[in-house]
């Protein structure tokens, strides 16, 4: 079963002096979860290809695209054992609580922008 792990981080601004504490959340997938995610992706994309068979104008392009994208996306899903979720904490500039959404492939250290004041913040391991 996939587990969500928390890691303490420091959220800093450009000056390097002002910093606040935060928490970095990431999901760790077991080999079984990775296989299930890959099969769901493959089935979903190939299912879309089958559903588009009766739609003449676009099926000439989208069916081959979904048939090719299915194994590619499934392979990427299977290879992903750790996925970044989000970071929560306090912005050192505006002192407001923030929650930064992350891409799956994001890793520490990283630069993001505060969603409240748009200040650049550096997120690093504590």
Per-residue pLDDT, 1: 86
Q: How would residue 38 be classed by pLDDT, with cut points 50, 70 and 90?
A: very high
Tokens of 33: 């979860």
76's CB contacts (< 8 A; 6+ apart) are none
User: The whole model's pTM is what?
Assistant: 0.80
| Beta pairing partners, 88 | 23, 99
Per-residue pLDDT, 41: 98
Q: Tokens 């003449």 identify what position?
A: 56
């Amino acid at each position: 079963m996939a587990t969500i792990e928390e890691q303490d981080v420091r959220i800093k601004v450009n000056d390097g002096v002002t910093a606040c504490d935060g928490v970095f959340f990431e999901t760790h997938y077991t080999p079984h979860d990775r296989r299930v995610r890959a099969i769901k992706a493959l089935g979903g994309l190939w299912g879309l290809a089958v559903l588009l068979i009766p739609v003449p104008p676009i099926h000439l392009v989208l069916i081959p695209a979904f048939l090719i994208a299915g194994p590619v996306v499934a392979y990427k899903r299977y290879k992903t054992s750790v996925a970044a979720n989000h970071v929560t904490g306090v912005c050192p500039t505006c002192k407001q609580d923030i929650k930064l959404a992350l891409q799956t492939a994001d890793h520490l250290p990283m630069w993001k922008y505060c969603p409240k004041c748009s200040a650049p913040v550096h997120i690093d391991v504590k």
